Structure 1
Amino acid sequence: MKKPLVICLILLLSLTACKSTNNPPVQYKPDDELVVLANGLGRSDWAMRYFAQQLKRAHYKVCSLNYASLGQSVEAVFTQTTTQINACIANASKVHFVGHSLGGLVIRAYLQNNPRVFNGNTLGNVVLIGTPNKGSELANHLNGSWLMHIAGSVSQSLITGSKRATP
């Protein structure tokens, strides 16, 4: 990968990933529907602000997850997000999920590991946008690079098939 492209990628991530909104706890009325938003790798809840605004205008309650992903282990990300999701969905009558990229993997893992959380009609729609369910060709391309090393085990876990490094 050429140096200017790498520098632009790092600059772009640093400009869009760091700001966080510290959302107050979501208050529910009996018929409110909640949408849990999960951002992608190297991003914060701020990256999902446009979705959040549009959903609020459509009268949904919104809970945006905010978790560190760069330099983190897969287990650390899932621990952070499970705690946040559990806090978000407490007392919600219907819960929908929208995840972008890594956020989709976070949602999928949460639902797989917590099947008893949703009873009856509590679980609504689940939308995964650009989620690398079978790994990422970009991760394959960057495999072994200094950028992947800095990004941590979350990004390394996205390497596909036989190209995946063994821990």
Structure 2
Amino acid sequence: MLVLLGLVFTGGLSGQARAENPNFALPTLGGTQLWADEHLRGGWRIQRHAWSGHYRLLDEQDVRRAWGSYADCLIRLNDHTSAAPQARHLVLLVHGIARGPATFGDLPGKLRKSGFEARAISYPSTRGSIDDHAAQLERLLQRVQNVDEVSFVTHSMGGIVVRRLLARNGAWKSTLVSGRLVMIAPPNQGSLIAQALQPAWPYKLLYGTAGQQLTPAQAAGFSVPDIPFGIIAGGLGTPEGYNPLVPGDDDGTVAVAETRLEGAQDFMVLPGLHGFIARSHGVEQSVLNFLTTGRFKQVRRHPNG
């Protein structure tokens, strides 16, 4: 009877019979600060729990299809050939601290419609250091299959995580071509707000180790990306910006001046608050333009050449 129940919970037999952990195929509750994407294939994901270290397999609708060890979940993932990537150019969208994949709104879907294999990843941004998060991305990219090139779109601290990833010279660089990087509202020069809040215990509790690394002094130690990159800053377009506590124009959290980084291939300021700018229409089109041409605005050619 227990064996039969186990087969029901896991969706029946696939191939020859094997023992599996009982699983209710139900939608998950999210848990963006507890789960790290460790393997992507199409819209399916294998995630690792930040505390227990166990894994789960989610399908395209975030329904849990298996759990246990990484090997257990990989076996179940291999049963689903429909999970193969739809394009050879992967775009990873990396959210900021205390946020999740929903940061990017419809952008991943619009990029897929434009011919990219675009996926907004999840990582427990408040549960480790920037190096920890870069190492997670490194493992994920080392496991990627059926893609040739990888580009990145980031929001806020996600840009710092990808900068650290690119500086690590991981094994994935020998199998994947590095494309382009778009950083949206990144604290490239560090954040004066983070510096002011750093000593406060509520800030330390809520934002963890990574939150302590967003000061100007810490930011100075991160390498400049070695791939073409562009920066989109949020601002009001006035000397005061949205937040009177942030010097100069700003998006309410990060100053326009704090987003700048020498070597950028393009730079633009769009109206928008920090938490919402990554899903605005102007950002969506600009990101697509940069990933395809290396510029945020399309260059219109004269009809006579």
The TM-score, its normalising length taken from structure 2, stands at 0.41
**What are the ranges of 5 or more consecutive residues in structure 1 without an aligned counterpart?**
1-16, 163-167
Distance 1:76 1:124, change over 3 A: closer
Alignment of 1:67-106 (within 5 A): 67-88=123-144, 90-106=145-161
Q: Which structure dedicates a bigger proportion of its chain to helix?
A: 1
User: How much has 1:121 moved relative to structure 2?
Assistant: 8.3
Q: Match of 1:145?
A: 200
Q: Which structure dedicates a bigger proportion of its chain to strand?
A: 2
Q: Match of 1:27?
A: 84
User: How much has 1:27 moved relative to structure 2?
Assistant: 2.4
User: How much has 1:102 moved relative to structure 2?
Assistant: 1.1
Residue deviations 1:24-47 (CA, integer Å, cap 9, x gap): 166246x63211111111112232
- Provide the C-alpha distance between the structure 1 equivalents of 2:146 and 2:175, rounded to a whole number of angstroms: 14
- Provide the C-alpha distance between the structure 2 equivalents of 1:97 and 1:156, rounded to a whole number of angstroms: 24
User: How much has 1:76 moved relative to structure 2?
Assistant: 2.8
Alignment of 1:17-166 (within 5 A): 23-24=43-44, 27-28=84-85, 32-88=88-144, 90-114=145-169, 117-118=172-173, 122-150=177-205, 151-161=207-217
**Aligned residue identity for 2:197:** L
Quote the RMSD (CA, aligned, Å).
Answer: 3.2
- Provide the C-alpha distance between the structure 2 equivalents of 1:145 and 1:126, rounded to a whole number of angstroms: 33
Contact 1:19 1:44 in 2 (8 A): no
User: How much has 1:156 moved relative to structure 2?
Assistant: 0.5
**Aligned residue identity for 1:86:** Q
- Provide the C-alpha distance between the structure 1 equivalents of 2:134 and 2:201, rounded to a whole number of angstroms: 24
- Provide the C-alpha distance between the structure 1 equivalents of 2:126 and 2:146, rounded to a whole number of angstroms: 31
Question: What secondary structure does 2:106 align onto?
Answer: helix
Pick the structure with greater CA Rg.
2
- Provide the C-alpha distance between the structure 2 equivalents of 1:115 and 1:73, rounded to a whole number of angstroms: 18
Count residues in correspondence: 146
Q: Match of 1:10?
A: none
